[in-house]
Amino acid sequence: MKPTLVILAAGMGSRYGGLKQVDPVGPSGETIMDYSIYDAERAGFDRVVFVIRRDFEAIFKETIGAKYKNLVEVDYAYQEMGDLPIGYSVPHDRLKPWGTAHAIYAARHSVRAPFAAINADDFYGQDAFLKLGAFLSREPVSQEPLDFAMVGYLLEQTLSENGSVARGVCTLGPQDFLKGVTEMTRLVRVEGGIENQEDPEAPLRLTGKERVSMNMWGFRPELFTVLKDRFPIWLERNAGNVKAEWYIPFVVDELVKEGLTTVSVLPTESRWFGVTYREDKQKVVEAISKLVNEGVYPERLLG
């Protein structure tokens, strides 16, 4: 069974300002998602499920989804705040959905095969899709613990020149299995290295060679059962925080520490880039133009 690509596209990009998922960055008007789907199809993925919000369904289907009908099978899932376990309701002052774990959970009715989950507004590179596609296309090593994967990028290749970024910094064990993920939320490049400046009085120095999660995961469909079971627990734990978000790295970290999953960290030297801030867009345009000039991608990607 060929793997499915799940693209998390429900966010509007509050720091960026606008629906950045449909912004053109390629020489013929391509979006970042176009490059992800192009790379995924060549890596053996035959189906794409977009996780979106219903309030921009029409523009998304018209601008994005319609382009792929002759390339891969396309389906949609909807991240909605009211998609909650029985007995729970949305707090009246909750303003946004519940995070990336909830976004993946929203795809549970649309995904039947092993799947990759990625962000819509991140460029991951050909090598990353080839490695993750190969992992998902093989038979799982075991059913217990669950057999998952994550593409690990070098921290130094994932920073923005226009502000701090949040990254999940990975701790690796034997055979490059993931031991844990530490979320660092104010990573910046400084003279001679990189710092996490969450505590400005005692910034944490890093080398830049650490492997980080850019939310490029490889999962089996059994994950949906795990999420269903753990969602009520998370809601109870965060009942008093209307801004809390349920992030998929936190779920994976819990499963690893409980011995319920192994996560193979697939190292890639691909350079990640994305649009965290509006000022990042020009750098993305220039990077893709360079790849086109080098022959990595055709000038007109689709059609």
**Residue 22 — pLDDT band, cuts 50, 70, 90?**
low
Mean pLDDT of 178-203: 91
How high is the pLDDT of residue 14? 45
Residue with the larger pLDDT of the pair 180 and 277: 180
How is residue 79 written in tokens?
């991240």
Mean pLDDT of 277-294: 90
Nearest to 264 by CA among 134, 149, 113: 149
Q: 91-135: per-residue pLDDT in tens?
A: 988 888 899 999 999 999 999 999 999 998 899 999 999 999 999
Mean pLDDT of the chain: 90
Q: 235-255: per-residue pLDDT in tens?
A: 999 988 989 999 998 899 899
Q: Do 103 and 185 form a contact (C-beta atoms < 8 A)? A: no
How far, CA to CA in Å, does 233 sit from each of 24, 61, 226, 227, 237? 40, 34, 11, 10, 6
How high is the pLDDT of residue 144? 65
Mean pLDDT of 55-79: 89
Rounded to whole angstroms, how far apart are CA atoms 196 and 205? 7
How high is the pLDDT of residue 73? 95
Query: Which amino acid does the sequence have at 46?
Result: D
Q: Is the pLDDT of residue 276 over 80?
A: no
Structural domains in the chain plus CATH codes: 4-293 (3.90.550.10)
pTM of the model: 0.90
How is residue 109 written in tokens?
């009715």
